[in-house]
Every structure is written in C-alpha cells, then in structure tokens.
Amino acid sequence: MKRLLVDNVQSATAVPRDFLAPPGRIGTVVVGSEAEFNLSEANPIDDLGTLRSPSAVMENGRWLSPRFLQDKLVLVASSDGN
C-alpha cells in the first residue's frame, strides 16, 4: 500500500517535473533552481490529506503564507466565476 502512495505522489510531482523541465532546473534545492514546493505538517506518503491544507507554499521563489493562501481560497469561493 505504501508503494502505491509513493507512486501516486511521484506521479503528481516528479513525473511532470521530469517531462516539463530540463534536468536540475526544478525539483532540486540548489542555487539557481526554481523554488516550487508545499510545506506540510505531515508526510504526504503517510497522509495524502495533508496536501489539502499546506502550512505554506513556495511558488516561483515567492513565499505564500497560510494567511495568504486562506485569503485566496475565500476570494475564489466568493467569486461568481467571472
């Protein structure tokens, strides 16, 4: 069962990364790479549900705090789709 969860997480993260980006450009923590990640309270391999409520997100090198993420969710939920 754990192998299936690992495969699912990799299918949503590493596989698209390998398809879309040159090697070493994303998916690494080194100077010059692009920072894109979710910070979670739990290991997604143990609990996929933790990805529904990240502690924070790094997007294009910009730190998105939990407050910022919550405000965006409220904005989207209150939008009429236009």
Q: What is the pLDDT of residues 22-70, one digit of tens each?
A: 776 666 677 777 767 888 899 888 888 888 888 888 887 788 988 998 8
pTM of the model: 0.57
Burial category of 37 from C-beta neighbours within 10 Å (exposed 0-12, middle 13-18, buried 19 and up): middle
Q: pLDDT at residue 77 above 60?
A: yes
Q: Give the structural domain span for 44.
A: 2-78
DSSP-assigned beta bridge partners for residue 57: 38, 64
Q: pLDDT at residue 81 above 70?
A: no
Question: Which pLDDT score, from 0 to 100, does residue 18 have?
Answer: 79
- Count up the domains in the chain and report the number: 1
**What is the DSSP annotation of 5-66?**
HHHHHHHHTHHHHHHHS-TTTBSS-STTSB--EEE-SS-TTT-GGGGGS-SEEEETTEEE-H
